[in-house]
């Protein structure tokens, strides 16, 4: 399902090690979703189940989890009506990650889930013994620190080849 912690450390770009310590640092995994367009059904119930307001179409939602070593895990498809949080709950990915981390003999570290701003999984991650990092909502960017933190997370999510952020701005 995932690369072990030892594999992730071994195969990731070494520049990540200054931001996510390979021994004492977290086990980061970045989550995101996308849509898979589907034809609009004639049935109202099916249309309601498949229509996604954000994408403005009938679709299935596909989720991916990416580790720093570029290992990509595809989450099971859910109906387009699901929001990002529902997708995480329905696919039981946090439970599966917890189980995987507990059985990874190279390290017993929990995952650090890095989510986009569409997710609201801080408490859910904590309930599963994991950490969560996500940018603040735009309307909550009242301080320079919040803006910097949000920018650092966005840059970290977008730079899988090597980070340009520093560990202080991520609060790790």
Q: Domain residues of the chain, as ranges?
A: 5-170
Confidence (pTM): 0.74
Helix H or strand E encompassing 72: strand 72-79
pLDDT tens-digit profile of 102-154?
899 888 788 999 887 777 888 888 899 898 887 655 455 455 555 444 445 55
Per-chain mean pLDDT for the chain: 80
Would you place residue 39 in the very low, low, confident or very high pLDDT band (cuts 50, 70, 90)? Answer: very high
pLDDT tens-digit profile of 80-90?
888 888 999 99
Compute the C-alpha angle 77/93/139, nearest 5°. Answer: 90
Q: Give the separation between CA 141 and CA 69, rounded to whole angstroms.
A: 31
Pick left, alpha or beta for residue 108 (phi over 0 → left; psi -120 to 50 → alpha; otherwise beta): alpha
User: DSSP assignment, residue 88?
Assistant: H
More reliable by pLDDT, 150 or 35: 35
131 near 111, Cβ under 8 Å? yes
Instruction: Please list the residues that pair with 65 across neighbouring strands.
Output: 31, 73
């Amino acid at each position: 399902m995932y690369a072990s912690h030892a594999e992730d450390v071994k195969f990731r770009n070494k520049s990540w090690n200054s931001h996510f310590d390979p021994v004492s640092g977290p086990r980061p995994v970045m989550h995101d979703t996308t849509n898979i367009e589907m034809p609009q059904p004639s049935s109202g119930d099916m249309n309601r189940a498949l229509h996604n307001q954000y994408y403005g179409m009938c679709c299935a939602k596909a989720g991916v989890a990416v580790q720093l070593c570029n290992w990509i895990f595809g989450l099971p498809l859910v109906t387009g009506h699901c929001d990002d949080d529902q997708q995480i709950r329905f696919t039981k990915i946090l439970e599966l990650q917890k189980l995987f981390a507990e059985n990874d003999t190279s390290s017993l570290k929990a995952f650090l889930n890095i989510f986009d701003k569409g997710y609201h999984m801080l408490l859910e991650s904590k309930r599963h013994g994991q950490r969560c990092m996500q940018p603040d909502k735009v309307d909550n960017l009242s301080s320079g620190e919040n803006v910097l933190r949000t920018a650092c997370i966005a840059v970290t999510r977008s730079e899988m080849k090597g980070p340009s952020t520093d560990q202080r701005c991520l609060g790790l």
